[in-house]
Amino acid sequence: MDHFGEDLVAALREIVKDGNWQCVGKKCDFDSPCTKLYSEDGEHIVLVHTEDDRFWAMDSSCPHEGGPLDLGDIEDLGDGKRVLVCPWHHFDFCLETGASSMGLQNQVYEVRVVQDMIYINTQNELCLSPIPETDTSNGKAIPSPSEDTLCFWATKILCTPDPKEKVAMTLEVQERWNSGEITEVGQATPPVQPSRKENLTVLQPGKIKRGKGGTQASRIALLHSLANIEQWAIDLSWDVIARFSSVRLDTGEPLPRQFFSDFVKVAGDEAKHYHLLETRITELDSFFGALPVHNGLWQSATDTSHDLLARLAIVHMVHEARGLDVHPQTLSRFAAQGDCSSVEVLEVIYRDEITHVAAGLRWFTYICSQEERDCLSTFHDLVKQHFKGYLKPPFNTEGRKTAGMTEEWYVPLVKPPS
């Protein structure tokens, strides 16, 4: 072994002595700052390559909420100290110790480079690709889903109970999708119902007192009700993405990429709306969750979970259009009390909601056109099937028309005069 340097011989002896060292590949294969290494038992590791050509390793899941540290940023704190920052909630973890300034601790692993090969000291076998899961009932290998697709994140957001975290994740995923960092739509199974914080008091829709805006307490109740609707609207946008990602039209074609881009935008708008409303409620010395809420909107999602056209018709062309209808009266209540800050929030929401109704209408008509269906009769049939009762005036004719929904869409669904 004369051709080996003394340091190399010593390093190799340590590797042989300690059977926990895993060779994960050549140094040249890890040029990226962060590389996720997959483990059979799900304890995945992120290998970090810093600018000074040093390597570090730690668990790839943030110990706070399981955020993907392999998608995080490396920050230099000076004095040679570097941290890996979780992209979800910005918890930082020291590359050397795994300690976070937030008080959390992540597991770190020793890394060595020997003859341009990377070794990590761990008992788990690691590889660069997801390890297939085995279905023991028939012995078939089931591939693990990719963890950086639009549908993966949609489902993750649906399972996030804290509305503030839901908003932050939504805006981050929207940015990553729009920038092209997330490239695949993917597939995932969304939950039956989105997660909610346990401290919320949930009542039947008819038992919620919204008030008429004549007092501050009444205005808070109205804003609280709207914030609850916006939280559900965030989830409805992500659900339509995840639930119908694998839909094929009668022509055999998948949904265009623009369909998903449009509903990512809707989700981002709804997240913005919730943030504006929650901020305004706080300014009025209250907080979201101080009053009871309902989950009536999700019933429509459940009823239309099997049919994309029905979902677009009921959620986006009936319920969201109804939001346009009630806007003038709601706005006037706040304006009458001189609540200019709330009026500004409501105006922002109104302008965005017009585009949401337009998105539902656009994709409803697109699918009908591709499948050679009559748009109006299909819409009327679906509303009669999935919406209880008649549509009730008054209608915001101007707002609906701006969204592209002319009277022929909804007037036939009004109760005829007796």
Digit-coded pLDDT (tens) for 266-290: 999 999 999 999 999 999 999 999 9
Q: Among 110-124, 279-293, 393-407, whose mean pLDDT is lowest?
A: 110-124
- Please name the helix (run of DSSP H) or strand (run of DSSP E) that holds residue 78, with its range, or none: strand 73-78
Query: Which position has the token pair 């279905």?
Result: 135
Contact criterion met (CB below 8 Å) for 75 and 92: yes
Position 191, amino acid: P
The pLDDT of residue 244 is 96
Superfamily of chain region 6-127: Rieske [2Fe-2S] iron-sulphur domain (2.102.10.10)
- Torsions phi, psi for 293 (to 5 deg): -130, 170
Does residue 192 register a pLDDT over 90?
A: no
Does residue 146 register a pLDDT over 60?
A: no
307-343 pLDDT tens trace:
999 999 999 999 999 999 999 999 999 999 999 999 9
Does residue 139 register a pLDDT over 50?
A: no
The residues, any chain, with a CB within 8 Å of residue 218's CB and separated by 6 or more, are: 211, 212
The whole-chain average pLDDT of the chain stands at: 88
Please state, in angstroms and rounded to a whole number, the distance separating the CA atoms of residues 292 and 396.
28
Contact criterion met (CB below 8 Å) for 321 and 356: no
Angle at 151 between CA 146 and CA 157, to 5 degrees: 110
Domain ranges for the chain? 6-127, 150-413
Record the tokens describing residue 119, joined without a space: 């070794």
Q: What is the DSSP secondary structure assignment for residue 40, as one 8-state letter?
A: T
Q: Among 150-159, 194-203, 300-309, 401-410, whose mean pLDDT is lowest?
A: 194-203
Record the tokens describing residue 145, joined without a space: 């889903």
Percent of the chain with pLDDT over 70: 89
Mean pLDDT of the 44-57 span: 93
pLDDT band at 138 (very low <50, low <70, confident <90, very high): very low
Contact criterion met (CB below 8 Å) for 137 and 34: no
Kindly state the greatest CA–CA separation across the chain. Answer: 104
Where are the strands (E) in 198-329, listed by range?
A: none
Contact criterion met (CB below 8 Å) for 357 and 405: yes
Please state, in angstroms and rounded to a whole number, the distance separating the CA atoms of residues 77 and 309.
52
Position 351, amino acid: R
CA torsion sign for 149, 179, 349, 379 is negative
Q: Pick the residue with more confidence: 133 or 124?
A: 124
Please state, in angstroms and rounded to a whole number, the distance separating the CA atoms of residues 46 and 375.
50
End-to-end Cα distance, the chain: 102
- Crossing angle (nearest 10°) for helices 163-179 and 150-158: 170
| Residue in 217, 379, 225 with CA at minimum distance from that of residue 293 | 225
CA torsion sign for 88, 273, 153, 173 is negative
The pLDDT of residue 388 is 86
- Side-chain half-sphere exposure of 114, counting CA atoms within 13 A: 23
Mean pLDDT of the 163-170 span: 95
pLDDT band at 116 (very low <50, low <70, confident <90, very high): confident
Q: Pick the residue with more confidence: 409 or 32?
A: 409
